[in-house]
Structure 1
Amino acid sequence: MIKFLYGTAWKEAETARLALLALEQGFRGIDTANQRKHYHEAGVGEAVARAIERGLVAREELFLQTKFTFLGGQDQRLPYDPQAPIARQVEQSFASSLVHLGTDYLDSYVLHGPSQRVGLGADDWAAWRAMEGIHASGSAKVLGISNVSREQLEQLCQQAKVQPRFVQNRCYASRGWDRAVREFCKANDITYQGFSLLTANREVLVHPAVEKLAQRYQRTTSQIVFRFACDIGMLPLTGTTNAAHMQADLSIFDFQLDPAEVALLESIAG
């Protein structure tokens, strides 16, 4: 099981270089999306191809995750026909992702957020049923959903034929580190992927208690936050562009916070 994901959003022309750098530093899980507005999926595929060519990694050692994004989240560079039914859009986007990533299967295929703020609508179910068909074909090992509320996740799990294995949400300390969604995930064997753990929580990184823990463990405050995320059951994402930071992120697995320290960090969140 992958313990850390490298996120590739907002890297544009640097995507291939940075994804390859992440693989060189030891990352084996890469998250992307077929959403050219914020991701360059083909750049990830270029990095993967280079890494495999060089013998750095084999495809079966990688965890490749991408997403289907509804029209409202896209710009004009669409991976599907906008006039096609939603199910067909999913199929077209998935086929495009396989080409971009140079693979014949994906380890995880994620719905990049529901089409509406409250509940799940007809488009969401059309997309999920199409994704279930892709899963049944063996082309996507597991399915997931991102940017989702607990109420939406509960509804999905109640009616889905194929249960989501992953949830990926932006995780704010000020909201209890997305406690409600995480608790549901824990109770239903769903892995919670947390992103923006640093950028959404800058106040935590400079909190005296976190700085004290960093001193105690001789780590950075960023490492403390990532270790905390793992200790409460998250699969964290990092999008750092710095090789030293990549190495530091991957080095959090040789120490662990004690339960009282975990509780302290949860209480800082309020």
Structure 2
Amino acid sequence: MNYITLNDGNKLPAVGFGVFMIPADGSTYNAVLKALNVGYRHIDTAAAYFNEAEVGKAVRDSGISREEIFVTSKLWLQDYGYEAAKKGIDTSLSKLGLDYIDLYLLHQPYGDVAGAWKALEEAKAEGKIKSIGVSNMTPKLYTELTADFATKPAVNQVECNPLFQQKALREVLAKDDVKLEAWYPLGHGDKSLLENPAITALAEKYGKNAGQIILRFEVQEGFIVLPKSTNPERIKGNIDIFDFALTDEEMDSIRALDTGKGSHDPEAPGVGEMLLNHYKIHD
């Protein structure tokens, strides 16, 4: 496993296991336990995924030392603002059943971001959170919203894959040594990516599947990747990417696939209101 050093000195595994849209009916617990058993040491959840409790139980039941497992969760918009965020952080800790969270993110870039960030900074100082970061911030949103932060984010978790490589954002983040975490690292199953000749030819060459080639490319680019699956073979396969390396020419062939466009535009009008109305994590 490769590890990434964040700008606060903490380290996290370059490949994590995402649990977005995995139900909290035992499915999340089983998937996380499987992931930990095959070698994952980085689990990514969120208050708005409604499965923090099952993630925490799997971490506790895994038999693996807590210090070896990197757990990420995220504060939802409903809990933005200083006082609300303090309660939201404590709620996440309670649901996870953990003494601390390794990384806690502002899930969306809307509302009282400054107040919520202040609460994250205080929780970090108190030891409740080890690292703090943001999510879904475009270059414009990142520049505007973090300008007055006393502490720079450790990561920005955004949509990123070979079809949308976030080149402009990466230039902005690099100035603050902020690492990019990729959601939808496999392009949400997009056939134009998974069946692209540039990908399939490399899969044949290295005896890997298309997803493994894509994840290897992203790790070599310095991304933190968060593939999600409930399929045991896919879970195991997505972390089996450290026994080969792509050449410079092969990396360039995948870089050439970038379209500069993703499936989600955080700057689109009304996105914040839509998300807040669509996801209510409590009354």
Partner SS, residue 223 of structure 1:
helix
State the superposition RMSD in angstroms.
Answer: 1.6
Aligned to 2:138: 149
Single out whichever of 248-257 and 177-186 deviates more from structure 2.
177-186
Partner SS, residue 153 of structure 1:
helix
Unpaired segments ≥5 residues, structure 1: 72-79, 116-120
Partner SS, residue 189 of structure 1:
coil
Give yes or no for contact 1:9–1:39 (8 Å, CA) kept in 2: no
1:156 to partner: Cα distance: 3.9
Equivalent of residue 41 in structure 2, options 28, 32, 37: 28
Q: TM-score, normalised by structure 2?
A: 0.82
Residue by residue over 1:99-136, the C-alpha shift from the partner in whole angstroms, topping out at 9 and shown as x without a partner, is: 11111111111000111xxxxx6x11111111111112
2:150 maps to amino acid: K
1:247 to partner: Cα distance: 1.8
Equivalent of residue 76 in structure 2, options 61, 66, 69: 69
Aligned to 1:242: 231
Aligned to 2:263: none
Equivalent of residue 43 in structure 1, options 23, 32, 54: 54
Aligned length: 245
| Structure richer in helix, relative to its length | 1
Equivalent-residue separation in structure 2 for 1:259 and 1:188 (angstroms) = 26
Aligned to 1:190: 178
Query: Structure 2 matches for 1:25-174, cutoff 5 A?
Result: 25-35=38-48, 38-51=49-62, 55=63, 57-71=64-78, 86-115=81-110, 123-174=112-163
Q: TM-score, normalised by structure 1?
A: 0.86
Equivalent-residue separation in structure 2 for 1:219 and 1:252 (angstroms) = 9
Equivalent of residue 198 in structure 2, options 209, 213, 219: 209
Identity of aligned residues (%): 31
- Which contiguous aligned blocks of 4+ residues in structure 1 show a shift greater than 3 angstroms? 172-175, 199-202
1:184 to partner: Cα distance: 2.3
Equivalent-residue separation in structure 2 for 1:259 and 1:186 (angstroms) = 21
Give yes or no for contact 1:8–1:39 (8 Å, CA) kept in 2: no
Equivalent-residue separation in structure 1 for 2:193 and 2:50 (angstroms) = 27
Single out whichever of 152-161 and 135-144 deviates more from structure 2.
152-161
Partner SS, residue 226 of structure 2:
strand
Partner SS, residue 240 of structure 2:
helix
Equivalent-residue separation in structure 2 for 1:70 and 1:188 (angstroms) = 25
Give yes or no for contact 2:187–2:193 (8 Å, CA) kept in 1: no
2:241 maps to amino acid: I
Give yes or no for contact 1:68–1:111 (8 Å, CA) kept in 2: yes
